Amino acid sequence: MKCPSCKSELIVSGQARLETVCEHVSNPNGIPSLKDKYICSDIDCETHNYGVCWNSGGEKYSEYPDNSIYADNNDAPFGSFQRKLNIEIYKDDENISWNFGKYCLELD
């Protein structure tokens, strides 16, 4: 996987109790399992300033809410399942509209 900010390789920096969305939904009061914690290999990357890390599926863990530091405002690493999901969920390139005088038909 590659960093969505600087495109450097992500490296495992240990393990942490990172709660996935699935774990939170299935057991909201449970203790998250230990998972590999991925960080950017470039120590000058902006993600280090905000303490950003990812799990092996590409889910981001950080208190920094702004996505402006990431390529295409997508906070998931390149090559991850989460990045593919973000693209499919938030894509708007297939919206089609036709104008018929004062009427407009839009297809999403």
Give pTM, 2 decimals.
Answer: 0.77
Structural domain range at position 15: 10-107
| Residue 4 lies inside a defined structural domain of this protein | no
| Residue 102 lies inside a defined structural domain of this protein | yes
| Residue 5 lies inside a defined structural domain of this protein | no
How many separate domains does the chain show? 1
| Residue 69 lies inside a defined structural domain of this protein | yes
- Give the C-alpha distances (Å, rounded to integers) separating 61 from 40, 45, 100: 13, 16, 47
| Residue 1 lies inside a defined structural domain of this protein | no
Convert the pLDDT of each residue in 53-97 to its tens digit: 999 999 999 987 778 889 888 999 999 999 999 888 876 555 666
| Residue 2 lies inside a defined structural domain of this protein | no
Neighbours of 29 (CB within 10 A): 5
The residue-averaged pLDDT of 27-41 equals: 93
Half-sphere exposure of 25 (CA within 13 A, CB side): 3
